[in-house]
């Protein structure tokens, strides 16, 4: 049976009074505590470079990098899939390293250089990974594709930089671009259409082309 209304009110009054007393005992007067609470702002101005363009945006402190890109800068190429770091649709690069932008607060990126899918090529002038995805049919609905392309580019750079993965056998040898290496490093990018075989083909093609370019 629910408690009588009078009891509920008395209980709320008691809780409010207790909170006020606790504030008074711990950090000073309630007035001082209130002043401290209002001194901080819940919004912050962030200056960063996105696709080579300097940007200054005032955001709610809780805004993710993904929402800053999509909602404030209207760069909707970076997709929101799970918003929990589980699908990779939101992958973009920060200072050259791939990140899940849904897991990163915008206020952490003061002075950073961000690159999104809009910054790496155009439909008329695709960069090699974009062209390889088209050539190999590396997508169906395309929702995961910006994140796949960003991750695919980063995977090649990570292998070239000698950064080992979970499946790298010999840590002292040069890392080979194998299917297993690519699959493992792309495992954070989910494709609900299941275009994995063609995504693998696209990344392998770019890796081989760039290795050949290095040799000539």
Nearer to ligand FES, 134 or 141 (CB): 141
Q: Which two tokens stand for residue 1?
A: 């049976």
Calpha distance 216→214 (Å, rounded)? 6
Residue 94 CB, nearest approach to ligand FES (Å): 14
Residue 38 CB, nearest approach to ligand FES (Å): 33
Nearer to ligand FES, 77 or 88 (CB): 88
Nearer to ligand FES, 73 or 195 (CB): 195
Q: What share of the chain is helix, strand, coil (3-state, %, to 5)?
A: 45, 15, 40
**Is 118 in contact with 54 (CB distance < 8 Å)?**
no
Residue 53 CB, nearest approach to ligand FES (Å): 23
Residue 70 CB, nearest approach to ligand FES (Å): 11
Nearer to ligand FES, 71 or 83 (CB): 83
Give residues in contact with ligand FES (CB under 6 A). Answer: 80-83, 85-90, 100, 102, 139-145, 191-193, 195
User: With helix as H, strand as E and coil as C, how does 122-144 read?
Assistant: CCCCCCHHHHHHHHCCCCCCCCC
**Would residue 64 be called left, alpha or beta, if left means φ above 0 and alpha means ψ between -120 and 50 degrees?**
beta
Nearer to ligand FES, 143 or 200 (CB): 143
Residue 65 CB, nearest approach to ligand FES (Å): 10
Could you tell me the end-to-end alpha-carbon distance of the chain, in angstroms, rounded to an integer? 83
Instruction: For residue 94, report the phi and psi dihedrals to the nearest 5 degrees.
Output: -120, 115
């Amino acid at each position: 049976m629910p408690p009588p209304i009078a009891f509920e009110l008395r209980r709320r009054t008691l809780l409010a009074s207790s909170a006020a007393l606790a504030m008074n005992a711990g950090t000073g007067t309630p007035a001082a505590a209130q002043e401290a609470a209002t001194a901080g702002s819940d919004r912050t101005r962030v200056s960063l470079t996105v696709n080579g363009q300097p940007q200054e945006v005032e955001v709610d402190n809780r805004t993710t990098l993904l929402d800053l890109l999509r909602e404030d800068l209207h760069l909707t190429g970076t997709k929101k899939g799970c918003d929990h770091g589980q699908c990779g649709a939101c992958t973009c690069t920060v200072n050259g390293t791939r990140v899940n932008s849904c897991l990163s607060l915008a206020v952490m990126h003061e002075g950073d250089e961000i690159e999104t899918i809009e910054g790496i090529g155009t439909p008329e002038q695709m960069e090699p990974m974009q062209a390889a995805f088209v050539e190999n049919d590396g997508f169906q609905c395309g929702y995961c594709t910006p994140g796949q392309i960003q991750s695919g580019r980063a995977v090649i750079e990570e292998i070239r930089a000698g950064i080992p993965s979970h499946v790298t056998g010999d840590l002292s040898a040069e890392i080979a671009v194998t299917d297993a290496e690519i699959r493992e490093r792309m495992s954070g990018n989910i494709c609900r259409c299941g275009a994995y075989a063609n995504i693998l083909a696209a990344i392998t093609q770019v890796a081989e082309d760039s290795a050949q370019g290095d040799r000539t």
